């Protein structure tokens, strides 16, 4: 359970409410159009609640990286359509006009401040900048789960100046992730894949204390296989993490966690849809070949584990799913999760993209909107943007 106050725990009526949303949406490089409005749609519940309760609403968010100076104009447009109400973009937060507009907002009116990353002060969590942002509200609502793992001016800094609570998206994310990892229906099966052992050491270590079964996939497989003395050909391997991999295997044994590595895999000489592929044992990859997806025996093995699970937590694709040649393992895992009666939770940006690609999003219990934030949560870390909010 989340122990933080939410918008429901405070009176927002006729108050100016500063809402930090996650409007960091992907834009088409050529047309500048929004290619997925998922994050905007996910923010509507909180915004509509505030509107229904007669708040004066001041939205803010970052989009893209500092220095890129991307405008939130397409977001303001899309929001206006979705909310059936004009959402005015306030381009210059230093201007008198912006102050005027914000201080004279009517109840239910909604404005959007321009990209908080137009200045370096945002990521530096500069207190002067945070204070300026805070001056636009009387209450702060953080609903940007995607940046909750960062202590920036608009996520953490502002909480020093305003009473601060969470929105519905943050509440939903934390409840799903917390339930899945800390209070799961057992057996709890975690599938951890992706590109690197190094980026997943934290998750693997934290999950060893929580899960009943750990299934490994993706490129990190080969660092583990190497640690066991197998032949991995040209597969990705982090030589400096072989010892860490051996240590994780040992800990799993000590803790009684069933940690399974793939038994077979799809190998090829290059990552391409035109190249010839072969199936072989995961520890007998010929020279010149790379392991790029889990093989059919592993798919069956892992499906069996998913079938008997009470909860499945998945982070990291089990193959190079961006290529048709190497997507089957990831697709079959996603399908097995969608078909199972288990609570199914997906964290990680690329894993969520894979589930979306296969059209299985609606059949999962929870697909996190925050790649990095969900990963840090799974590592057992505290998220500063959430820690800073008022306790219940």
Q: What angle do CA 205, 210, 213 make, to 5 degrees?
A: 90
Q: Does 157 bind Mg ion (CB under 5 A)?
A: no
Classify 275 in phi/psi space as left (phi over 0), alpha (psi -120 to 50) or beta. Answer: beta
Decide if 5 contacts 141 (C-beta within 8 A): no
- Structure tokens belonging to residue 383: 């998220």
Tokens standing for residue 315: 């982070």
Q: Which of 146, 157, 180, 291 binds ligand ADP (CB under 6 A)?
A: 291
Asked if residue 349 binds Mg ion (CB under 5 A), the reply is yes
Q: Give the torsion through C-alpha atoms of 7, 11, 17, 19, to 10 deg.
A: 0
Helix 38-52 with 73-83: angle, nearest 10 deg: 60
Q: What's the closest the beta carbon of residue 325 comes to Mg ion, in angstroms?
A: 20
Residue 316 partner contact from ligand ADP, Mg ion, none using kind-dependent CB cut-offs of 5 to 8 Å: ligand ADP
- What, of ligand ADP, Mg ion, none, does residue 389 touch, CB below 5 to 8 Å by kind? none
Active site residue: 196, 231, 335, 357, which one? Answer: 196
Determine the angle formed by the axes of helices 328-339 and 349-357, rounding to 10 degrees: 80
The footprint of Mg ion on residues 251-280 (CB under 5 A) is: none
Least distance CB 191 / ligand ADP (angstroms): 11
Minimum distance, C-beta of residue 115 to Mg ion, in the bound complex (Å): 23
Please say which residue, 15 or 150, places its beta carbon nearer to ligand ADP. Answer: 150
Catalytic residue among 15, 39, 226, 331: 39
CA distance 168 to 40: 13
Which member of 73, 82, 83, 195 binds ligand ADP (CB under 6 A)?
Answer: 195
* Angle (CA) 105 108 110, round 5°: 65
SS3 309: coil
Q: Is 147 in the site for ligand ADP (CB under 6 A)?
A: no
Nearer to ligand ADP, 259 or 375 (CB): 375
Q: How far is the CB of 173 from ligand ADP (least distance, A)?
A: 15
Smallest distance, Mg ion to C-beta of residue 195, A: 7
Q: Looking at residue 72, what DSSP letter applies? A: S
Residue 349 touches ligand ADP, criterion: CB under 6 A: yes
Stretch that binds ligand ADP, among 29-37, 155-163, 188-196, 384-392 (CB under 6 A): 188-196
Helix (H) or strand (E) holding 281: strand 277-281
- Is 132 an active-site residue? no
CB atoms within 10 A of CB 65: 11
Binding mask 317-336 for ligand ADP (x = CB under 6 A): x-xx-x--------------
**Catalytic residue at 349?**
yes
CA distances from 86 to 42, 78, 195, 248, 392 (A): 19, 10, 43, 54, 34
Q: Hunting for tokens 């959402």 — which residue is that?
A: 87
**Cβ neighbours of residue 147 closer than 8 Å, sequence gap 6 or more:** 20, 22, 24, 62, 155, 370, 373, 385
Name beta bridge partners: 112.
59, 89
> Number of residues in contact with ligand ADP, rule: CB under 6 A?
21
Query: In Å, how far are 47, 141, 208, 308 from 18, measured between CA atoms?
Result: 11, 6, 39, 45
- Judged by beta carbon, residue 252 or residue 292, the one nearer ligand ADP is 292
Is 196 one of the catalytic residues?
Answer: yes
Q: How far is the CB of 282 from ligand ADP (least distance, A)?
A: 10
350 binding Mg ion? (CB under 5 A): yes
- Selected range binding ligand ADP among 2-10, 46-54, 108-116, 342-350, rule: CB under 6 A: 342-350
**Which one among 315, 344, 368, 369 touches ligand ADP, defined by CB under 6 A?**
315
Q: Applying CB under 5 A, which residues contact Mg ion?
A: 349-350
**Interacting residues with ligand ADP (CB under 6 A):** 193-195, 199, 218-219, 236, 291-292, 315-317, 319-320, 322, 348-351, 371, 375
Residue numbers annotated as active site? 39, 196, 349, 372
């Amino acid at each position: 359970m989340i122990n933080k106050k939410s918008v429901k725990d405070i009176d927002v009526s006729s108050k100016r409410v500063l809402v930090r949303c996650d409007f960091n949406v992907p834009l088409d490089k050529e047309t500048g159009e929004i290619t997925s409005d998922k994050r905007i749609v996910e923010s509507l519940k909180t915004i509509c609640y505030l509107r229904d309760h007669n708040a004066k609403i001041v939205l803010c968010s970052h989009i893209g990286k500092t220095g890129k100076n991307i405008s939130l104009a397409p977001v303001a447009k899309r929001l206006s359509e979705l909310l059936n109400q004009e959402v005015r973009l306030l381009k210059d937060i230093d201007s008198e006009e912006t102050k005027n507009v914000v201080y004279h907002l009517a109840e239910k009116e909604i404005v959007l401040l321009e990209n908080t990353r137009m200045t370096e002060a945002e990521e530096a969590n500069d207190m002067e900048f945070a204070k300026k942002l805070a001056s636009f509200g009387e209450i702060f609502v953080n609903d940007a789960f995607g940046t909750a793992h960062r202590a920036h001016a608009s996520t953490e800094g502002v909480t020093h100046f305003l009473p601060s609570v969470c929105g519905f998206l943050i509440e939903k994310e934390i409840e799903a992730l917390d339930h899945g990892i800390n209070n799961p229906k057992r057996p709890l099966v975690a599938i951890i894949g992706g590109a690197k052992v190094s980026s997943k050491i934290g998750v693997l270590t934290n999950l060893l204390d929580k899960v009943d079964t750990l299934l490994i996939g993706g490129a990190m497989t080969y660092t583990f296989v190497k640690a066991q003395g197998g032949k991995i050909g040209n597969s990705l391997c982090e030589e400096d993490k072989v010892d860490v991999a051996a240590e994780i295997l040992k800990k799993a044994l000590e803790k009684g966690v069933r940690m399974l590595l793939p038994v077979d895999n799809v190998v090829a000489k290059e990552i391409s849809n035109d190249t010839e592929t072969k199936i072989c044992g995961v520890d007998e990859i010929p020279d010149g070949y790379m392991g790029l997806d889990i093989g059919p025996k592993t798919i069956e093995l892992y499906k069996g584990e998913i079938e008997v699970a009470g909860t499945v937590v998945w982070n990291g694709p089990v193959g190079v799913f961006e290529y048709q040649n190497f997507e089957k393992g990831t697709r079959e895992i996603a399908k097995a999760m969608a078909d199972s009666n288990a609570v199914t939770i997906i964290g990680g940006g690329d894993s969520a993209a894979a589930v979306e690609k296969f059209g299985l999003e609606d059949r999962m219990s929870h697909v996190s909107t925050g790649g990095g934030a969900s990963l840090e949560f799974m590592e057992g870390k505290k998220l500063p943007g959430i820690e800073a909010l008022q306790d219940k």
